[in-house]
Structure 1
Amino acid sequence: MKDYTEDRDLAGIKLLAVDMDLTLLASDGSLPPHMTERIDALAEAGVLFCPASGRPAPTLQMMFPTHKDSIAFCADNGGWVIYQGRTAFRDLIRPELWHEVLDFAADDGHCAPVLCAFEQAYVLKRDQRHHEAIYKYYKDIRYVESFDEVDAEADKVTILFPDYDAEPRFASTYEPRFGKRLYVTNAGREWIDFMNLGVSKGSGVAHLCRELGIGLADAAAVGDTYNDIPMLSAVGHSFVVANAEKHMHAHADYLVPSNDDRGVATLIDAILAAKGR
């Protein structure tokens, strides 16, 4: 796979969309040092920074407090796009459809279904034992006896598989059952995400580019796993981190150092250097 230094048009990048877990964040969950300064430098160089994640927007904004009203966020795997503090796009799953997914998963004793309702997440009280794993991503959690109690607008359903068997369960059960009606994707080995057909990190980045008049050829993305594939496919500059599984090499043009070697920061520095910064 080609090294990121072989991209001869880094100076042409106008938007940088970056996955969070195991891409921008190190294995300990930390951001690269001096990210505040790097984001500021990108803005001065005419590059919009955009975290792109399955996380909801409020959680992402908490991670970038000094930039939450200046950068973009592609949240909920593209179901909710925010630019400069305002919603640029959001999507709604029909309630009868998210109820069907949640009820099916609730009958499975080996997972914890979560309804992602923009500002709030709904989880069954029986699954409070998984609070720590869910709270990592969803800070405002309402525990309910049954999803029948819930009347909310939602853009995503996610399911936690605490035994790290999300990939085989995706292939054997959830994608075959729901894949013709929803976009179903793995988010690592613990989670399966469900959005409307056509909603993905790729569509979220495309919505943002249209809003800002940026050509997708001038957008860049960095990722590591399945739910990053649509985003990598959509943009003109696609990168995966060295810690990504080998199958991801087929979905990007260039390789950057691993998350623990701060590959995204290295790429940002290369983009800034190419722009003479």
Structure 2
Amino acid sequence: MKSFVFDLDGTLLNSNIEITQNTINSLKKLKEQGTSIIIATGRMYSSMMYIIEKYLPFLKGYSPLIAYNGAYVLDKNKNILYESTIENKIACKCIKFLRNENIHRQAYINDVLIVEEDNNEIKSYSKHASIKYVVVKDLIDEINKRNNVIKLLAIGKENIILELQKKLKKNFEKDLNIIQSFKTYLDLVHKNTSKGAALKKVFEYYNLSFDNTYIFGDSQNDISMLNLTKNSFVLNNASNEVKKHAKYVIPSNDEDGVSFAIEKILSSNSFTYSN
């Protein structure tokens, strides 16, 4: 049986944060054929479900779901297969570091987005992700009260995020996986957490094989799963760094690249393409 794995932002979603009708129709064809479909995103669970409810309701009860870059994994029936959190001590230390760097920071605890500054960054992020957020006086106090930090996120200009990633790796690499999910977003999750690691858990649980699996992504946080199959697809809107990890570079997310690839695979039972 074939399996298809899709990232959301920059892959299924276009630049307007929409899934086009062409892409929806192609995904419906996959489901009609009994193909396994898995969604793997860096988004928080509620934000992922907003997209699924709006554009892909036919996947509810059908698709395993991976949220928070692999820190939260659900089976088809929304039972938790896996969940990882960041140790409080490490999360607090990281927040202090980001404060000193004067970088916007936010924490995700029990699927609640928490910030300590109600600034333009969080307002823009909230609109992009279609989620609400909670503002607190002190994020470190909140982390110590609530526990269970599943992810931290830093937001800044692209050049700042690239430099910040180097600094964070120098200080936290033994405890955290520090990856870009978007050119202005830097995600921090538990060291052993990634989309690829989560996908392995899903495949083991459902006894699926990577030999006949097609994986689609566009960002640095997709690399760990793109490396799991010979049928790896990166959209043309991706960076050159990510494109190096794909067998195929397909049209961009604003050109229905995913639908293009699915239709070719369905029509010929394989994929050949030169862009």
Whole-angstrom distance in 2 between the partners of 1:73 and 1:214: 15
Cα offset, 1:34, TM superposition = 4.2
Does residue 145 of structure 2 align to residue 153 of structure 1? no
Deviates more, 1:15-24 or 1:259-268: 15-24
Match 1:102 to one of 84, 95, 103: 95
Matches within 5 A, 1:194-205: 194-205=188-199
Match of 2:239 in 1: 245
Deviates more, 1:67-76 or 1:178-187: 67-76
Cα offset, 1:146, TM superposition = 0.4
Matches within 5 A, 1:165-244: 165-171=160-166, 173-244=167-238
Whole-angstrom distance in 2 between the partners of 1:68 and 1:273: 26
CA contact (8 A) 1:56 1:118 kept: no
Cα offset, 1:178, TM superposition = 1.0
Q: TM-score, normalization: structure 1?
A: 0.86
CA contact (8 A) 1:93 1:156 kept: yes
CA separation of 1:249/1:128 partners in 2, compared to 1, >3 Å: closer, same or farther?
closer
CA separation of 1:41/1:163 partners in 2, compared to 1, >3 Å: closer, same or farther?
closer
Match 1:137 to one of 129, 137, 148: 129
Match of 2:28 in 1: 40
How many positions carry a matched residue from both structures? 261
Q: TM-score, normalization: structure 2?
A: 0.87
Match of 1:53 in 2: 41
Does residue 75 of structure 2 align to residue 80 of structure 1? no
Percent sequence identity is: 22
Cα offset, 1:33, TM superposition = 1.2
Whole-angstrom distance in 1 between the partners of 2:41 and 2:181: 9
Report which structure shows greater RCO (CA 8 Å, sep ≥6): 1
Deviates more, 1:148-157 or 1:221-230: 148-157
Whole-angstrom distance in 2 between the partners of 1:230 and 1:40: 26
Cα offset, 1:243, TM superposition = 2.0
The residue type paired with residue 151 of structure 2 is: K
Does residue 84 of structure 2 align to residue 64 of structure 1? no
Match of 2:258 in 1: 264
Q: Unpaired segments of 5 or more residues in structure 2?
A: 271-275
Match of 1:4 in 2: none
